[in-house]
Amino acid sequence: MIKDFSGKTAVLTGAGSGFGLECARIGAQRGMNLVLVDVQPDALAAAEAEMQALGAPVLACRVDVSQPAAMDALAAQVKARFGAPHFVFNNAGVGAGGLIWENSVKDWEWVLGVNLWGVIHGVRAFTPMMLDAARADPAYQGHIVNTASMAGLLTPPNMGIYNVSKHAVVALTETLYQDLKLVTDQIGASVLCPYFVATGIHNSERNRPAGMPAGELTASQRIQQAMTDKATGSGKVSAADVAQKVFDAVQSDQFYVFSHPKALGNVKSRSDAILAIQNPPDPFAERPEIGVGLRAALRQSGG
């Protein structure tokens, strides 16, 4: 856990928008050195200018987190400028939906590349550096936060590719927590599992690499896009609210971070079914009208 953030260094991926940008704002207010990482140049430049105006020392890096060499180079830049970071937020993410058999290989490569491999590379690149710092300084405290989703604890239909990526991040982060506990008391880990929050992820196609073109949207993909747009647009919890929860978790060494704790009822239903060896329940049990509407829309579309 980190009690005092002043003078500490934060590495934030997906820093140009959403949770990454809001965490950068909190970090600047608390006197942190900020490493802003994003793939979108205009958003990154705007975030850099804003944080500098707040007086924060900033290193802004345009990086595709799915690329191992780029993440290794980022780690080297961070070490050269600020030394080992104290807070690493592996947050960059993209969204994709539709019936699971309709996703192309390029869809899978893109989503898993950012959502899963981006986290893997962040953990791989920065954890050894943080462990070295902990061994060298008994006062060093570090924390790694990986962004998953409630879709990492549930299996809602028509968004399987996203579910797979986020379940993997939950498993990775739980294992990271256990592994760190074996070797140090100075570095913690948390997993962020937001529900529907307006962050810009539903517009993530804007950052899709040219080498992974999207095909024409299927009916199920169009339906999922519309549902996601509506859900994120009507949400009452803001990205700034979630960023505050992230900092609170880092400060108190809390592992699971939820934007909407009431949604845990659906997680309990799934866990109960597993323990009872029953078939998977409705993942929208808390709001059954969602599943009813989705089923009707898909059957009407011929999906």
Query: Hey, where are the domains in the chain?
Result: 9-263
Find the DSSP H helices in the chain: 18-29, 41-53, 68-82, 105-112, 118-136, 160-183, 219-233, 239-252, 264-275, 288-301
Query: Going by C-beta distance under 8 Å and a sequence separation of 6 or more, which residues neighbour residue 290?
Result: 227, 284
Q: What is the pLDDT of residue 237?
A: 86
CA-CA distance, 215 to 23, in Å (whole number)? 34
Q: CA 104, 105, 109 angle in degrees (round to 5)?
A: 120
Q: What is the pLDDT of residue 303?
A: 56
Q: What is the pLDDT of residue 300?
A: 85
Neighbours of 77 (CB within 10 A): 14
**221 CA to centre of own chain:** 22
Q: Does the active-site annotation cover 177?
A: no
CB-facing half-sphere around the CA of 184: CA atoms within 13 A: 24
The CATH classification of domain 9-263, taken from the options 3.10.350.10, 3.40.50.720, 3.20.20.70, 3.40.50.2300: 3.40.50.720
* Annotated catalytic residue, options 162, 177, 195, 256: 162
Q: What is the pLDDT of residue 292?
A: 85
For the chain, 303 residues long, the average pLDDT of each consecutive 10-residue run is 95 97 98 98 98 98 98 98 98 92 94 97 98 98 97 93 97 98 98 80 58 74 78 76 97 96 90 97 81 86 65
Put simply, whether the predicted model's pTM sits higher than 0.95 gets the answer no
